[in-house]
Chain A
Amino acid sequence: MLQAPGDFAEWRRAARGLLAGGVPPDEVSWRGSEDGASLFGDAAGATRQGAASLPRELVEIAERVICHRDPEVPARLYRIIWRAARDRQLLARTTDRDVDWLRGADKAIRRDVHKMHAFVRFRRLGGEAGRERFAAWFEPTHRILRLTAPFFQRRFYGMDWAIVTPDARAIWHDETLAYGPGGMKQDVPDSDVVEDQWRTYYGAIFNPARVKIDAMRAEMPKKYWHNLPEAQDIAPLLAGAEARVERMREAAVSLANPLTDKWRTRVPDELALDDDAKTLGELARAVDRCTRCPLYCNATQGVAGEGPERARIMLVGEQPGDQEDLQGRPFVGPAGQLLSEALEEAGLDRARLFLTNAVKHFKFEPRGKRRLHQNPTTGEIDICRWWLDKERAFVQPDMIVTLGASALRGVMGKSASIKSMRGAVHELEGGSKLIATIHPSFLLRLPDRERAAEERVMFVADLIRARKLAA
């Protein structure tokens, strides 16, 4: 005989006793106090033979499911823990009849809890001076007040509140949560001044052009409506929807708002795209707005070179990568980090170099949450030479170091293999010298560690040579 339906502690005490006494489920008859009449007597005095151990998940589910209003619940739950004590895998048997029922009942409870979190509506009782006080009337489908009150405690710590249901009430006052007997709708105020604002909001946020009543009712079933202040507006809103849309459709297109031109003067004029940049800063802005090839369509921004205008050495990479594209600066990603380390080893101060790329926009292939680098075509490199040439003209470096094949093409204007060019110093038109080496990302891609270490030494050696020749 259970005195308090939905009380997990009471059911657990009884169930523990029965389980320890080895009483099989079909010999137990569970009655709630509401059922009156007979007690179950046969197992009440069973002797304890030690606590049964049950999976933690099952205990958690039982704690919720005991709140279910189905009078069969205590008995069915007992049968399940009886079986679980003998079959540790029981909960994983998703096709088992008992487990299926348990999952279904648990789902119903969790949904009820979720809906209570959502649909409780507090009304203000007072508290102008200090703490505000609120109260709500709510009718949950199951006996879930104890499952939901902690949520309201965590959320509304800084105010006093009470939630009254037909079965029980929860009161949060003086930073203490207490439970009391059930009540009636009349126990809480029947209005709140803010409800007018809420209903105004509800009406205004509704889009009459996309009525979907079933979607609304699936998530906000009618049984909750009588305690929701906004629900009284549903019928009138629906009744007027078609007419509102019709009016929108029929209304002749009106003249533009007479103030339009005045307002729009505030929109800043776009700077004209200036191909004849006078400074490196202007050049960078022009690079950012470049539309000479379609790469700009998906990239975040054009990334121009960076460094002092009078730099003696210019380093040319391939193209911005993921991080460079986001930050708008060259060589700030993983390859850039490796480059910085190598420069330091070579005795070069990164701040005194001019760093740029052969192609100014990031070319990539989207793959889930990442962007995979794609090599630029020779066409794209050649189109983008326009900008590299301008940067070279501004900086007039003594020495250009090309990192990788794309950079080499960008500087030379024709394809050449790094292998054949490496190790020697080449004279470029206009007086600069050229050293060709690999791109640091090549080192990152090498799976063989030993090989990568060797290549790294050669890379640093190339940088050292560049430093000495430029000195």
Chain B
Amino acid sequence: MSAKPILEKLRILADAAKYDASCASSGTVKRDSVASKGIGSTEGMGICHSYAPDGRCISLLKILLTNFCIYDCRFCINRASSNVERARFSPQEVVRLTLDFYKRNYIEGLFLSSGIIRSEDYTMEQLVEVARILREEHRFGGYIHLKTIAGADPGLIALAGLYADRLSTNVELPTEAGLQSFAPEKKPETIRKTMASVRVGAEEAIEATRGRLIGKAKPPRFAPAGQSTQMIVGADAARDDDILKTATNLYSGYQLRRVYYSAYSPIPDASQDLPPVRPPLMREHRLYQADWLLRFYGFARAEIMEGANGGMLDLSIDPKLAWALQRREVFPVDINRAPRELLLRVPGLGTRAVDRIVAGRRLTKLRLTDLAKLTASVKKLLPFIVTPDWRPGMLTDSADLRARFAPPPEQLALAL
């Protein structure tokens, strides 16, 4: 293996890691370096230390241990048949970079992934070794996100869970057929089994905490920030409905904290069976909105699809508005009397605005001027709400309601 200078390796292995969307450093336990007298803390809320011009947050040092890979997934820049430049870090080099960056307050921690070299188990061992050195030899208390290699031994996953805050296994493509044709070595059932072993590990750790005797040391935590996954959108023929179906199955089965939807973006030296198009960023955005409706707004997948067309979400308006336009009989909603669940269904009201409305209306009747203080935009709400000083009248049922919200076609082309 050629010994490239560290800057070269960093350039190659960060470039290779950028197609993983997650950079979250949130949701873990509170931890600091006061007792250990080392370096590092996590305070529950993640911190984005920088932003790249692609609008994405930079919270973690997101790199691959190596971009050599024996798999040949078509959509991946690191697939075996790609002519991309290759490099490999030693575990010590990654540890060094992480600590150097962390001490200068560039990052919250490390997100380490890797191409598959030799075998799934060997690769996973290498990732775990980096986390072990950071935690045990350097008393590092910052955030660690490790990629779990699907098919690796459950014992290695259990070990990874002891050092890492978060584990993630990417499902890559939302459907079985997509995976078969684009990532022949990856098996959906292997990916699901790996996710299952993460959930089982976490539940066993919780069980151990419950069962412990008073005065005994706490058993170690298992990946306190849970697990996540990523699906690539727009590389295969999967519809939004298929994507959300897979997402709901994964959320329910493996207690995922997040499913990331990553618009397929053209990679250098792309495989010829992939679209050399612009990444479908608006589609990705709509999927995230739908995902939020599923998790925080009490929507069922079937309801979201009421506003969709042929299994695809409307690109020009958000999925909640699309649903509301199909279900006008639900509106208008009385801001001062409607239950919380119904307020959450009003287009333009987010969870925080709803909380503020519910708190505010206990003490005073809310009028439009009050709403302006509690929400971002009253204008969007108007057709769907009633206040003492406002009734939408025919507006709610007017035929051109959609046109009020949808941008004119030429703007849509830009947004895509």
Q: Which of B25-53 contact A (CB under 8 A)?
A: 32-34, 36-41, 43, 47-53
Q: How far is A123 from B104 in the complex, measured between Cα atoms in Å? A: 6
Known: A219-B51, A369-B251. A151 touches B43 (CB 8 A): yes
Say whether, besides A212-B54, A326-B196, A370-B252, A260 and B81 are in contact (CB < 8 Å): yes
CB distance A253 to B272 under 8 Å? yes
Q: In whole angstroms, how far apart are the Cα atoms of A121 and B43 in the complex?
A: 19
Query: In the complex where A253-B272, A288-B189 touch, is A132 in contact with B362 (Cβ < 8 A)?
Result: no
CB neighbours of B153 from chain A (8 A): none
Residue of A nearest to B266 (CB): A248
In the complex, the answer to whether A369 meets B255 with C-beta atoms within 8 Å is yes
Query: Are A205 and B52 touching (Cβ within 8 A)?
Result: yes
**Neighbouring A residues of B40 by C-beta, 8 Å:** 155
A322 contacts across to B, CB distance below 8 A: 253
Report chain A residues within 8 Å CB of B267: 248
Interface status of B200 (Cβ within 8 A of chain A): yes
Contacts of B269 in A (CB 8 A): 251, 253-254
Q: Judge whether A228 and B50 touch: CB under 8 Å.
A: yes
Q: Flag A361-389 by CB within 8 Å of B: 1 or 0 each.
A: 00010111111000000000000000000
**In this assembly, does B359 line the interface, its C-beta being within 8 Å of a C-beta of chain A?**
yes
Residue of B nearest to A301 (CB): B193
Distance in angstroms between the alpha carbons of A154 and B39 in the assembled complex: 9
Residues of B within 8 A of A211 (CB): 53-55
A89 to B362, CA, bound (A): 11
The answer, yes or no, to whether A186 is at the interface (CB within 8 Å) is no
Residue contact B52 to A202, C-beta cutoff 8 Å: yes
List the B side residues contacting A201 at CB < 8 Å. 10, 14, 61, 63, 101
Most buried by A among B6, B10, B263: B10
B268 interfacial contact with A, CB 8 Å: yes
Given the interface pairs A158-B38, A200-B11, A206-B53, the reply to whether A368 lies near B251 with Cβ below 8 Å is yes
CA distance A134 to B104 in the complex (A): 8
Query: A182-221 interface mask toward B, CB cutoff 8 Å, 1 = contact, 0 = none?
Result: 0000000000101111101111111111111111100110
Q: Does B218 contact A (CB under 8 A)?
A: no
When the two chains form the complex, which single residue of B10, B33, B49, B192 contacts A155, counting CB atoms closer than 8 Å?
Answer: B33
Would you call B55 and A210 a contact (CB within 8 A)? yes
Asked if residues A205 and B14 are in contact (CB atoms below 8 Å), the reply is: yes
CB < 8 Å neighbour of A159 from B39, B101, B106, B193: B39
Q: Is the CB of B11 within 8 A of A204?
A: yes
User: Across the interface, which residues of B come within 8 angstroms of A123, CB to CB?
Assistant: 104
Interface of chain B residues 55 through 96 with chain A (CB within 8 A)? 55-58, 61-63, 68-72, 80-83
A238 touches B53 (CB 8 A): yes
Assess whether A73 is interfacial by the CB under 8 Å rule.
Answer: no
| Cα(A249)–Cα(B274), bound, Å | 11
Residues of A within 8 A of B52 (CB): 202, 205-207, 216, 237
Contact of B189 among A151, A192, A264, A301 (CB under 8 A): A301
Contact A198–B196 (Cβ < 8 Å): no
CB distance A220 to B200 under 8 Å? no
| Residue B364 interfacial (CB < 8 Å) | yes
Q: Which residues of A contact B32 (CB under 8 A)?
A: 154-155, 157
Chain A residues 83 to 125 lying within 8 A of chain B, measured CB to CB, are 89, 92-95, 100, 114, 117-124
Q: For the complex, what is the distance from the CA of A327 to the CA of B154, rounded to whole Å?
A: 11
What 0/1 pattern do residues 133 to 151 of A give for CB contact below 8 A with B? 0101000000000000001
Q: For window 282-327 of chain A, which residues contact chain B by CB distance below 8 Å?
A: 288-289, 296-301, 322, 325-327
Does B18 belong to the interface (CB within 8 Å)? Answer: yes
Within 8 A of A (CB), among B172-223: 176, 185, 188-189, 192-193, 195-196, 199-200
| Interface flag for A351 (CB, 8 Å) | no
Please indicate the chain B residues that have their CB under 8 angstroms from the CB of A210 in the complex.
54-56, 263, 265, 279, 281
Known contacts: A132-B103, A197-B100. The answer to whether A300 contacts B192 by CB under 8 A is yes
Q: When chains A and B are docked, how far (Å) is the Cα of A191 from the Cα of B116?
A: 38
A256 touches B363 (CB 8 A): no
**Interface assignment of B133: CB less than 8 Å from any CB of chain A:** no
Q: Is there a chain B Cβ closer than 8 Å to A464's Cβ?
A: no
- B38 CB contact (under 8 Å) in A157, A213, A245: A157
Please name all residues of chain B whose beta carbon is closer than 8 Å to the beta carbon of A63 when the two chains form the complex. Answer: none
Residues from chain A with Cβ under 8 Å of B50 in the complex: 118-119, 202, 220, 228, 230
Contact: B53 with A300, CB < 8 Å?
no
Q: What residue of chain B has the Cβ atom nearest to residue A230's Cβ?
A: B50
User: In the bound complex, do residue A206 and residue B18 qualify as a contact, i.e. CB atoms below 8 Å apart?
Assistant: yes
Q: Which residue of B lies closest to A214 (CB)?
A: B55
Is A241 located at the chain interface by the 8 A CB criterion?
yes
Chain B CB within 10 A, most for which of A119, A155, A322, A370: A155
Please determine whether A157 and B199 come into contact, CB atoms closer than 8 angstroms: no
Task: Give the chain B neighbours of A257 by CB distance below 8 A.
Answer: 80-83
Cβ of B271 and Cβ of A134 under 8 Å apart? no
Contact with A along B370-384 (1 / 0, CB 8 A): 100110000000000
Residues of B within 8 A of A220 (CB): 50-51
Q: How far is the CA of A322 from the CA of B366 in the complex (A)?
A: 46
User: A267 CB to closest chain B CB, in angstroms?
Assistant: 5
Verify if A442 is at the interface (C-beta below 8 Å from B). Answer: no
Is A266 close to B, CB under 8 A? yes
Q: How far is the CB of B8 from chain A (nearest CB, A)?
A: 9
Q: Which residue of B lies closest to A249 (CB)?
A: B276
Smallest beta-carbon distance A92→chain B, Å:
6
Tell me which residues across on chain B come within 8 A of A194, comparing CB atoms.
Answer: 100-101, 104
A122 touches B366 (CB 8 A): no
For this complex, 10 residue pairs linking A to B, each with C-beta atoms less than 8 Å apart, are A92-B359, A210-B55, A213-B55, A216-B55, A219-B48, A228-B50, A238-B53, A248-B267, A257-B83, A364-B252
Chain A residues in the interface with B (C-beta under 8 A): 89, 92-95, 100, 114, 117-124, 132, 134, 136, 151-159, 192, 194-198, 200-216, 219-220, 228, 230, 234, 237-238, 241, 245, 247-249, 251, 253-257, 259-260, 263-264, 266-268, 288-289, 296-301, 322, 325-328, 364, 366-371
Please give me the 8 A-B residue pairs with the lowest Cβ-Cβ distance, nearest first.
A215-B55, A212-B55, A366-B252, A256-B81, A154-B32, A204-B14, A157-B33, A95-B370
Given contacts A94-B356, A151-B41, A248-B276, 10 further A-B contacts (CB under 8 A): A93-B360, A118-B48, A134-B104, A155-B39, A155-B41, A197-B10, A198-B106, A212-B55, A257-B83, A266-B119
